[in-house]
Amino acid sequence: MPPSSSTPSTRVPSLLSLLADGGGRHTALGLLHTRALELSGGICSILFEHTPASGQLQVTCGAGLDHLPTDAWEPAVRESALLSQVFGTRAVTVVRSAAAQMPNLHARLGTDEALLVPLVSASRRVGLLAVGLPTGLGDSASTAIESSDVPAGLLLALELSRLRQREQLESEVRQVIDAFSERLSASLALKPALEALCVAATRLFGADRTTVWVHERDSRTLEAVASSDPDYRAGITSIRADDPLAPAAGALRTQRAGLASSHNVATSTLTVPLRGCRRALGTLVFEGVRIEPGDDITLLNRADELGRQLSGTVEAVQLLGSVMQSRRELEQLFASIAHLIVVIDPDGRVVRVNQAFASAVGRLPETLVQQPLTACVGPELAEWIRELQDPLEPAAVREVTDSVLGGHNLVTVTDLLT
């Protein structure tokens, strides 16, 4: 059938109203599909959204098809070359022999000819409209689509939708992370906070179960430390970090969230890598995720945002734990030194003492803190310390017989600020 010559004026107000309404995205896209088929004389159409991270074209919606394929289009080498040309020129392009030139697209449309309508914003790929055509309508269909409001309408619909989805997902993820941070700041206990986050994230992503796997570098394993399922410890809680069959291990080496599903299962597994500044921290795994057609990109963006924010918090807590552990070890080492050690501030008050010093003066270490040093040692040592120059360069050394510390002592005074 020849392309329709009807004007779009009667459709513009309803389309603009739908685009202004945040909930009218699918209806607006449906109108634009119908408009594209009327103008081109096409049989069917599919709208793809471009995923910047992977370069894939994800199916968003379509028209005129008995079955809309929802799997991402990963163009073959010849298809990629043609797509690069289409997006580079931004021109509506006719594919004369879809089966030969673009077999993956032909498998979806099922027509001999196809029309490719690139949707580009500021040199950034946004999406692609593919229209299946009867043989011989390519040139007239290309002219009709290129002179219409369909490309601009689709681009506007996708861009508005992305902005709204980004705002919504940031708000939803922020609520989950805020609740996690509040729980964590109350006790600095990472495991209970992660379990609470798993419960909230399970609701957010509509999953059956969410589990956090933490990477143990020394043992080269992933340990399941928290889950939304209270019975998760009854299953496998430790896997090798290089296990090729474990989704958590596979995601550890990726940069972005990913989806995996089986043909005979209606749900998918969503994996989110947790990456720190220098190393992989672990993986967040959602099992039994139900995805509506066309929602893949939104879901993956939401998952990436959650993974990014969670990674920063987990890394900070792990770093704090390492610092506190190092401090405890240093305190134990300081306390165990056999020599008498006392640290004082510029005002001459005790900041810290080791056990040997406290034993020498016959008091508990904690009772000496903030006491003047002159109240802890004899007048002989106190008088010599008062005579020292400030700042002290280099360290001062002297043999002193102190009436409180007892005996003859070789005393070294060092300025810790120099």
List per-block mean pLDDT (blocks of 10 residues) for the chain, which spans 418 residues. 44 57 70 92 92 76 87 81 90 92 91 93 87 92 91 86 71 77 70 87 89 90 90 84 90 88 74 87 90 73 87 78 74 83 87 88 88 87 81 78 81 76
pLDDT of residue 383: 85
- 84-91, Cβ contacts within 8 angstroms, sequence gap of 24 or more: 86/116, 86/118, 86/128, 87/118, 87/120, 87/125, 87/128, 90/118, 90/120, 91/118, 91/146
**Domain residue spans of the chain:** 12-148, 163-328, 337-413
- Identify whether the C-beta of residue 372 lies closer than 8 Å to the C-beta of residue 357: no
Kindly report the pTM of this predicted structure: 0.52
Would the CA dihedral through 71, 75, 76, 82 be positive or negative?
Answer: positive
pLDDT of residue 47: 93
pLDDT of residue 27: 78
Triad 60, 66, 68: Cα angle to 5°: 20
pLDDT of residue 16: 62
Tokens representing 278 are 């220098």
- Identify whether the C-beta of residue 322 lies closer than 8 Å to the C-beta of residue 330: no
pLDDT of residue 320: 66
Tokens representing 125 are 């790929």
* Cα–Cα dist 182/178, whole Å: 6
**CA quadruple 146, 150, 156, 158: dihedral, nearest 10:** -110
Q: Please, what is the angle between helix 12-20 and helix 25-40, to 10°?
A: 150
**What fold, for 163-328?**
Beta-Lactamase (3.30.450)
Count of residues making up the chain: 418
Q: Please, what is the angle between helix 190-205 and helix 150-187, to 10°?
A: 150
At residue 36, the 3 state secondary structure works out as helix
Triad 76, 81, 84: Cα angle to 5°: 120
pLDDT of residue 93: 92
At residue 407, the 3 state secondary structure works out as coil
- 228-231, Cβ contacts within 8 angstroms, sequence gap of 24 or more: 228/195, 228/198, 228/199, 228/201, 228/202
* Cα–Cα dist 59/129, whole Å: 10
Architecture of domain 12-148: 2-Layer Sandwich (3.30)
pLDDT of residue 122: 81
pLDDT of residue 78: 83
pLDDT of residue 188: 66
- Residue 172 amino acid letter: E
